[in-house]
Amino acid sequence: MTLQPSPSSGKTAVRPKLRVAIAGLGMGAVQIIRSMEQAPFLEVVAAADVRPQALEVFRQRYGGRTYESVDALCQDPNVDAIWIASPNSLHREHTITAARNGKHVVIEKPMAVTLPEAEAMVEAADRYGTKLLCGHTASLMAGFRAMRGVITSGELGEVRAVNVWAYTEYMFRPRMPQELVTELGGGAPYVMGPHQFDIVRLMGGGMVRSVRGMTGNWMPFRDGLGYYAAYLEFENGLPATVIHNGYGYFSTFEFVPWAGSSRFLKDGQQLRRDLRAGRPVDDAPSKEEMRFGGRNEGAMYGAPGEAEASHATGYQMDAGIVIVHCEKGDIRQGPEGLIVYDDDGVRHIAVEGIRDERMAELHELYDAIAEDRRPHHDGRWGLATLEVLLGVMQSGTERREIMMHRQCPAWE
Ligand SMILES: NC(=O)c1ccc[n+]([C@@H]2O[C@H](COP(=O)([O-])OP(=O)(O)OC[C@H]3O[C@@H](n4cnc5c(N)ncnc54)[C@H](O)[C@@H]3O)[C@@H](O)[C@H]2O)c1
């Protein structure tokens, strides 16, 4: 199918619809499908999952074609692009199968569990001439893109340091057991790291030289990595700190009250009490209810047809507080978008453009296909971010600095 560049590129008017499919109708799929519902330039035509009940709801709601395997979905000649939202340990296999069948791919974060997996995915997209977009990171959000805009405008001079700190209830959100298993790509570094390390790399220009880090598994009765602290140094000497505490006694929302509130902080209190008391906890049924087609599907990302709450602010708080220090001023998140502090005082900047990061992602893929160019968040960008988060875990285990070898520069 031939697509037209977006109106924002100033080149076109009528836009043929991109025919998209979803591989993995779980909880993440709920978020992306909400944005797809609002996007006039695409059509949701098919889905694959191993759970027949999810496929049944998909057929009823969208009238699309359904498949019991990603392999079968990839044979569908009337699908242009696939959003892969299957479990992290299957991302490599599903992405390569899609590319081999000529499908463009948006892969959920983390793009893969290991660097060789990610490299094979990049290589497959190159070989089969398909687009690979490493999606769903907070760096796609309007607030953070606007921060990057202030940096690249040069008005505040060089970036001197970046600090990104998040406090969330990550460990107490409803989870399937495998979601906290490090070897399967579970735990905070894999799942929250892509948001934060993508933002830091975007603000700092992309080229990380080395990382030193430490991870934390603080609750033996909720086994998995719930904490990380990292010190990153860029090629040009720029320092950055990144912290994620997913143990949920309080949330970063407290520092930015205009951004909303934490959805699972209270659930965490009960879960923690149950776990400490040795009461059996099985939160898989709660997660099942929050997946696509589940009874509680709207709890995290809104009901069908509703916009997600975080779109009001232009950034979501899984990334935490982001503060950029420049030669002639500082930038941080604000109620209207950004707050800039410089020699003339303080100013609030309203964020413009697409606030929904998933919508931004849909545009990014569409335009990359229409203009036959690499998306910004392409496979190489995702690979570099994965290298950083793996480096943090390795550094924590080996208690030493880890050098980076697969970094790429950020876009302007
Ligand atoms: N949970 C969220 O809020 C969220 C948000 C955005 C992105 N994500 C990302 O989405 C991905 C999935 O996470 P999730 O939380 O939705 O998990 P999930 O377990 O709810 O969903 C995974 C889905 O994949 C299906 N699946 C499993 N094996 C499959 C196979 N072989 N073929 C086809 N389908 C298969 C499952 O049945 C399930 O419906 C992860 O990469 C995650 O990081 C999650």
Write down the mean pLDDT value for the chain: 92
Residue 283: what pLDDT? 86
Residue 350: CB within 6 Å of ligand 1? no
Query: Which pLDDT tens digit goes with each residue over 43-61?
Result: 999 999 999 999 999 999 9
| Most confident region among 198-202, 297-301, 308-312, 358-362 by mean pLDDT | 198-202
Q: For position 306, what pLDDT does the model report?
A: 66
C-alpha to C-alpha distances, 244 to 65, 152, 278, nearest whole angstrom: 40, 27, 26
Cα–Cα distance between 143 and 44 in angstroms, integer? 28
- Position 10 pLDDT exceeds 50: no
How far is Cα 374 from Cα 405, in angstroms, rounded to an integer?
21
Confidence of residue 253 (pLDDT cuts 50, 70, 90): confident
Nearest-CA residue for atom 39 of ligand 1: 26
The stretch 21-44 carries a mean pLDDT of 94
Query: How far apart are alpha carbons 243 and 257 in whole angstroms?
Result: 20
User: How close are the terminal C-alpha atoms of the chain, in Å?
Assistant: 29
Residue nearest to atom 2 of ligand 1 (CA): 28
Could you check whether 7-138+357-377 and 139-355+387-403 share the same CATH topology? no
SS3 content of the chain, % helix, strand, coil (to 5): 40, 20, 40
Say if residue 301's pLDDT is above 70: yes
Ligand 1 centroid from CA 146, angstroms: 30
Instruction: Pick the range with the lowest mean pLDDT from 6-10, 225-229, 391-395.
Output: 6-10
pLDDT tens for 163-175 read 999 999 999 998 8
Q: Is the CB of 225 under 6 A from ligand 1?
A: no
Pocket test for ligand 1, best of 30, 31, 32, 50 (most atoms within 8 A of CB): 50
Helix (H) or strand (E) holding 334: strand 329-334
The pLDDT assigned to 351 comes to 87
Q: Is 284 in the pocket of ligand 1 (CB under 6 A)?
A: no
Do the bridges between strand 208-216 and strand 227-234 make them parallel or antiparallel, or are there none, so unpaired? antiparallel
Determine the distance separating the centroid of ligand 1 and the alpha carbon of 239, expressed in angstroms: 34
Instruction: Check pLDDT > 90 for residue 392.
Output: yes
123-142 confidence digits (pLDDT tens): 999 999 999 999 988 888 88
Check if the beta carbon of residue 203 is closer than 8 Å to that of residue 162. Answer: yes
CATH class of 139-355+387-403: alpha beta
Q: Which of 221, 226, 229, 230 is nearest to 249 (CA)?
A: 226
For 132-259, list the strands marked E by DSSP: 132-134, 159-167, 208-216, 227-234, 239-245
Report CA(111)–ligand 1 centroid distance (Å). Answer: 13
Q: What pLDDT, on a 0 to 100 scale, did the predictor assign at position 2?
A: 62
Mean pLDDT of 170-188: 93
Ligand 1 neighbour 49 (Cβ under 6 A): yes
Interval between CA 28 and ligand 1 midpoint (Å)? 6
Statement: residue 8 has pLDDT above 60? no
Q: Coil, strand, or helix at residue 204?
A: helix
CATH topology of domain 7-138+357-377: Rossmann fold (3.40.50)
Q: Whose CA is nearest to atom 7 of ligand 1?
A: 28
Cα-to-centroid distance, 332 and ligand 1 (Å): 32
> Is 30's pLDDT higher than 50?
yes
- For residue 320, pLDDT over 70 is answered with yes
The pLDDT value given to residue 13:
52
**Mean pLDDT value of segment 88-107:** 98
- What was the pLDDT predicted at 326? 98
Would you say residue 310 has pLDDT above 60?
A: no
Q: What is the pLDDT of residue 235?
A: 98
Contact status, residue 404 vs residue 388, Cβ threshold 8 Å: yes
Least confident piece of the model among 209-218, 244-253, 398-407: 244-253
Q: Which two tokens stand for residue 411?
A: 């876009």
SS3 163: strand
Q: 268 pLDDT exceeds 90?
A: no
Q: Label residue 29 by pLDDT band (50, 70, 90).
A: very high
Specify the higher pLDDT residue, 11 or 125.
125
Residue that wins the pLDDT comparison between 79 and 354? 79
| Per-residue pLDDT, 142 | 87
Q: Which residue has the tokens 């699309």?
A: 64
Mean pLDDT of 56-83: 97
- At 12 the pLDDT is 47
pLDDT at 93: 98
Q: Is the CB of 109 under 6 A from ligand 1?
A: yes
Q: What are the start-end ranges of the E strands in 150-237? A: 159-167, 208-216, 227-234
Give residue limits of the domains in the chain: 7-138+357-377, 139-355+387-403
User: Residue 110: what pLDDT?
Assistant: 97
